[in-house]
Amino acid sequence: MQHQKREAECLEDVMNQTVDQLKEYLHNLRQYDHILSLLYWDMNTLAPEKGLEARVSAINYFSAEQFRLATADEYGRMLEELRKPELFDALDPAMQLTVKRYSRDYERFRRIPEDFYTSYTETKTRSEKAWEKAKQSADFSVFAPYLDKVISMTKEYVHYMEPDRDPYEALLDLYEEGIDGDTIDRVFAELKEGLLPLLNKIEECPRPDLSALEGSYDMIAQKKVQDMLLAYIGFDADAGATAESEHPFTLDLSIGDVRVTNHYKEDDPLSAIFSAIHEGGHAIFGQNIDPSYEGTAVEKVDMMGLHESQSRFFENILGRRRSFWVPVYDKLGELLPQFKDIPLDMFCSAINDVHPSMIRTEADEVTYCLHIILRYEMEKAIFRDNIPTDKLPQLWNDKMEELLGIRPENDGEGILQDMHWSDGSFGYFPSYLLGSVYDGMFLEALETEMGSVDAILEEGRISEITAWLNKKIHQYGSLYTSAEVLQRVCGRELTAQPLLEYFYKKYAKLYGFC
Amino acid sequence: MQHQKREAECLEDVMNQTVDQLKEYLHNLRQYDHILSLLYWDMNTLAPEKGLEARVSAINYFSAEQFRLATADEYGRMLEELRKPELFDALDPAMQLTVKRYSRDYERFRRIPEDFYTSYTETKTRSEKAWEKAKQSADFSVFAPYLDKVISMTKEYVHYMEPDRDPYEALLDLYEEGIDGDTIDRVFAELKEGLLPLLNKIEECPRPDLSALEGSYDMIAQKKVQDMLLAYIGFDADAGATAESEHPFTLDLSIGDVRVTNHYKEDDPLSAIFSAIHEGGHAIFGQNIDPSYEGTAVEKVDMMGLHESQSRFFENILGRRRSFWVPVYDKLGELLPQFKDIPLDMFCSAINDVHPSMIRTEADEVTYCLHIILRYEMEKAIFRDNIPTDKLPQLWNDKMEELLGIRPENDGEGILQDMHWSDGSFGYFPSYLLGSVYDGMFLEALETEMGSVDAILEEGRISEITAWLNKKIHQYGSLYTSAEVLQRVCGRELTAQPLLEYFYKKYAKLYGFC
């Protein structure tokens, strides 16, 4: 007995020591995440043109340092030690996940030559800036050589990481672990099948007259609307910040510092309004992860489908409802006086005006799904069919015509509209639609537990919904995979049916074709 | 001959190789400057309260990494190698200066224990945030324990760096190399002697009636005024950025990325206007350093007297002249319509209203000198007489009464007004006044070469003055010490007489007592 006890104690000492070492190592690694995120934030919100070279130098340098730390023998040994069953079994779930996930990343990174990694990082940084210019001038030729290089280097990158895997499958796994191409194919087919008849029905109805919304909306007031909406949905301004950028995004520097950007358009206040709610949803997720997970892999949510489900839940499931606006529509009118003359019902028609349009980020929630299916098909064409870069704009336009019945007049409203490919984020797009599919399921679970969402919203109790999401999803960070979250929250497997039901019910009522 | 040539060639090879190595090493070191500057920038302009701990972690980590690089044996060996006369003599002046200055810094840093350095860095970061809170609530007790610690650690810090030197002399040398306490004593005494009779004369005159300026000034319009003024004086917006902070400051990330902040007050547009011109002057210096000095010590201007001379030249020597405003006063009125009803002459009276007041940054250019003399005397009291921290507010108030005849009602308008001591920048304050003293001399030189400044400004040719400063001063960065710059530009040694002459001439005319 005595002997056994000493052995157990000794094992515990070894474990604690190795865990402490790993935690310290991860603490150091996190500093590079922090600084590279801040460099990214600054580059996309404030840094001037002439500072680009110095900025690229800094990003290259710290990416290389991070790479060195993330692939060091010493780090590998710590992870290996903690993978031993007698130690691993005694770890808490967050540390188990950390060891598992970071061991996988370690193995992946070890297969990438350092020179390649550095050069890939630099290529992506320059490509992003080139995309920004190309988008502004709607000139694909400015971006094409960069995109071409990013595509070929991304192929090489994933081949290093996962040499035995289909490259696009490996990319999908980077953004939504455990949801493979077959699953996406199945769910997206389910959606396409359900959506096309719905769209046909909607297109038979007359479009609402929205000319009352036309006009010029003060940009500074739009910024105030963003602040008002962020506060309304539960964004904690003491744990975040806001800024402007070409393309809205959310960035997590730490649980106490989650930032959102927006892009204001003088003639289109709805764009910034829904970007605010969308990015706010992301940020609320990041701000509400249990702080006890700080320093573990749980804190980093890289399941982007799950992340998008939260932004899109706020943006669409809540934000495009009449009841969402009941408690705040007057405030909107105070900040942007034009809305005083627009009845709430007309506003609701405007934000649910389903019709094919060019720009994904401004699409209604129904045709949005087709925008994503388009991008998913494009990415398969790039990674599986190896379509040459110069053929991509035409392929985009053809698919647009096929899926949405419209054709872009220039690449600015076509292939250049999104930033994702400029920084190599191939495989990210499906996350948006997966997020919506999860949302259909979350909505069902929420209403089962709490009753009608409309009743809650109309009574100004949105904070109860935010709290429900915090409790059911946000606090756990990435402790559970999306599939596990669906099981825990909804008690069922991935299916597009609840989303389709939500669409049918909502639009039948709005357009009166039921 | 043949043999000698080979030897010379060989020497050149060795030198080039070592210079290349050093340049690469300095390139890496610069990345830490870049990132620490960006962390500082972000912390003071945007980062939220709850992100502080993560931010402090990042600053600590990268400061420690930088310290390690800056004190590595390898770095010391490179510098030592290049100090050998046969190599040193063949270096270009910028590299000679780099080797000399960085050898000095290396020796200084090597004497500081790493643990102490890390702890000092963290203390300063926390102290800055405590100062911000203390200032907002005008509560010295919030700041006192931090200040106390910063003072004692700063004493320890300089003692490590320069063990055989008087600590305050060592601090002065950090901010204005080569200008010692005796010189400052002499020049400040010269000033005090000249200023007190001038102030007496001015105080006999009635103060202008400035009630027409009272009112509420739109903060967003004030921001636009800043942009307009920055463009007017020659700030390159493509090589910089602007933001808001508690205390205005300028930050150089690279020659192509020099940033300024401002602080807007609804009831006092002059505050932000003159901060804009002041920080703009700093930024124009940073933006116009010859890019060929990039990567050498010349790029970093740590002679703060010289730096302040440029900000204060724009702010005071130019910015407080009627002729400065002639080409832009209408624009000011367009942005802030209240100024349409204020005649330019009344505006000029307002910006040259000499009278004792509490806040340094809002003081007129004459009493400002006494604000600095007060701080210089306080710093000597702290570092030479070791006055306890809790006695400092009273000492401040006593000195204020002695020098300016007024007494602060609370510490917010007293000892808490400036951020400098919160981050350990003792020895910086004299730079402001040295800057003004240099300015008197620069003005004399400029008018000798180019004729009346008023004529140039009134004709809207301010860019010629900016170009003169670029050519004479900015392009050289820190290649020459302040004393050398004075010799090169003015052909004489440091003297307060030209500044006093400028004051006498200007205020005799304005107040009509000549």
Pairwise CB contact (< 8 Å): A47 & B241? yes
Pairwise CB contact (< 8 Å): B58 & A52? no
Structure tokens at B466: 């900016």
Sheet holding B257-262, edge to edge: B240-244, B257-262, B250-254
**Chain A residues close to B58, C-beta within 8 Å:** 31, 34-35, 38
Q: Can you tell me the distance from the alpha carbon of B509 to that of B514, in angstroms, rounded to the nearest whole number?
A: 7
Pairwise CB contact (< 8 Å): B58 & A47? no
Query: What pLDDT is recorded for position B232?
Result: 98
What confidence category does residue A352 fall into, taking pLDDT thresholds of 50, 70 and 90?
very high
Q: Can you tell me the distance from the alpha carbon of A436 to that of A211, in angstroms, rounded to the nearest whole number?
A: 30
Condensed to tens digits (0 to 9), the pLDDT of residues A439-471 reads 999 999 999 999 999 999 999 999 999 999 999
Nearest to A38 among B39, B61, B239 (CB): B39
Q: Which A positions 26-65 lie with beta carbon below 8 A of chain B?
A: 27-28, 30-31, 34-35, 38-39, 41-42, 46-55, 57-58, 61-62
Q: Is the pLDDT of residue A225 over 90?
A: yes
Alpha-carbon dihedral of residues B17, B20, B21, B26, nearest 10 degrees? 160
Alpha-carbon dihedral of residues B61, B62, B67, B73, nearest 10 degrees? 100
Q: Can you tell me the distance from the alpha carbon of B361 to that of B368, in angstroms, rounded to the nearest whole number?
A: 8
Least Cα separation, residue A243 to chain B (angstroms): 9
Structure tokens at B338: 């209240």
CA of A287: which chain B residue's CA is closest? B50
Instruction: Give backbone dihedrals phi and psi of B254, rounded to 5 degrees, phi first.
Output: -165, 170
**Chain A residues close to B254, C-beta within 8 Å:** 51, 53-55
Query: What pLDDT is recorded for position B2?
Result: 54
Query: What pLDDT is recorded for position B5?
Result: 63
Side-chain half-sphere of A451: how many Cα atoms within 13 Å? Answer: 7
Query: What pLDDT is recorded for position A5?
Result: 63
Q: How far apart are the first and last CA of chain B?
A: 74
Pairwise CB contact (< 8 Å): B54 & A254? yes
For the beta carbon of residue B306, count every other beta carbon within 10 angstroms. 27
Strand partners, B257: B254
In sequence order, the 6+-apart residues with CB closer than 8 A to the CB of B502 are B317, B440, B443
Q: ipTM beyond 0.85?
A: yes
**Chain A residues close to B51, C-beta within 8 Å:** 239, 253-254, 256-257
- H helix intervals, A208-268: 219-233
Least Cα separation, residue B66 to chain A (angstroms): 12
Least Cα separation, residue A292 to chain B (angstroms): 14
Condensed to tens digits (0 to 9), the pLDDT of residues A413-439 reads 999 999 999 999 999 999 999 999 999
Entry pTM? 0.92
Q: Can you tell me the distance from the alpha carbon of B108 to that of B90, in angstroms, rounded to the nearest whole number?
A: 26
Least Cα separation, residue A111 to chain B (angstroms): 26
Q: Can you tell me the distance from the alpha carbon of A85 to that of B177, in angstroms, rounded to the nearest whole number?
A: 62
Pairwise CB contact (< 8 Å): A62 & B256? no
| Inter-helix orientation angle A497-511/A365-383, to 10° | 140
Pairwise CB contact (< 8 Å): A243 & B31? no
Query: What pLDDT is recorded for position B15?
Result: 81
Least Cα separation, residue B138 to chain A (angstroms): 22
What confidence category does residue A10 fall into, taking pLDDT thresholds of 50, 70 and 90?
confident
Question: Cα separations (Å) of B280 from A54, A253, B275, B290, B313?
Answer: 21, 30, 8, 18, 11
Condensed to tens digits (0 to 9), the pLDDT of residues A290-314 reads 999 999 999 999 999 999 999 999 9
Query: What pLDDT is recorded for position A361?
Result: 86
Per-residue 3-state assignment (H helix, E strand, C coil) for B33-52: HHHHHHHHHHHHHCCCHHHH
What confidence category does residue A114 fall into, taking pLDDT thresholds of 50, 70 and 90?
very high
Catalytic one among B128, B162, B279, B299?
B279
What confidence category does residue A13 fall into, taking pLDDT thresholds of 50, 70 and 90?
confident
> Does residue A393 contact residue A414 with C-beta atoms inside 8 Å?
yes
Nearest to A48 among B55, B62, B240 (CB): B240
Angle at B92 between CA B91 and CA B96, to 5 degrees: 65
The residues of A assigned a catalytic role are: 279
Instruction: Give backbone dihedrals phi and psi of A84, rounded to 5 degrees, phi first.
Output: -60, 130
Structure tokens at B428: 């910086």
Residue B416 DSSP class: T
Q: Can you tell me the distance from the alpha carbon of B41 to that of B303, in angstroms, rounded to the nearest whole number?
A: 21
Pairing of strands B250-254, B240-244: unpaired
Catalytic site residue B86?
Answer: no
> Does residue B423 contact residue B127 with C-beta atoms inside 8 Å?
yes
> Does residue B383 contact residue B84 with C-beta atoms inside 8 Å?
no
Q: Is the pLDDT of residue A514 over 60?
A: no
Q: Is the pLDDT of residue A362 over 90?
A: no
Q: Can you tell me the distance from the alpha carbon of A438 to that of A183, in angstroms, rounded to the nearest whole number?
A: 13
Distance between alpha carbon A431 and the CA centroid of its chain, in Å? 7
CA of B57: which chain A residue's CA is closest? A31
Instruction: Give backbone dihedrals phi and psi of A271, rounded to 5 degrees, phi first.
Output: -60, -55
Mean pLDDT of A36-56: 94
Alpha-carbon dihedral of residues B71, B73, B77, B79, nearest 10 degrees? 0
For CA atoms A31, A37, A43, A46, give the dihedral sign: negative
- B514 shares contact with chain A (CB less than 8 Å): no
Distance between alpha carbon B465 and the CA centroid of its chain, in Å? 20
CA of B58: which chain A residue's CA is closest? A31
Structure tokens at B23: 């340049």
Q: Which A positions 189-248 lie with beta carbon below 8 A of chain B?
A: 220, 236-241, 243
Nearest to A54 among B42, B61, B253 (CB): B253
**Chain B residues close to A237, C-beta within 8 Å:** 48
Walk along chain B (514 residues) and give the pLDDT tens digit of each residue. Answer: 456 667 777 777 888 899 999 999 999 999 999 999 999 999 999 999 999 999 989 999 999 999 999 999 999 999 999 999 999 999 999 999 999 999 999 999 999 999 999 999 999 989 998 999 999 999 999 999 999 999 999 999 999 999 999 999 999 999 999 999 999 999 999 999 999 999 999 999 998 888 999 999 999 999 999 999 999 999 999 999 999 998 899 999 999 999 999 999 999 999 999 999 999 999 999 999 999 999 999 999 999 999 999 999 999 999 999 999 999 999 999 999 999 999 999 999 999 999 999 999 889 999 999 999 999 999 999 999 999 999 999 999 999 999 999 999 999 999 999 999 999 999 999 999 999 999 999 999 999 999 999 999 999 999 999 999 999 999 999 999 999 999 999 999 999 999 999 999 999 999 887 5
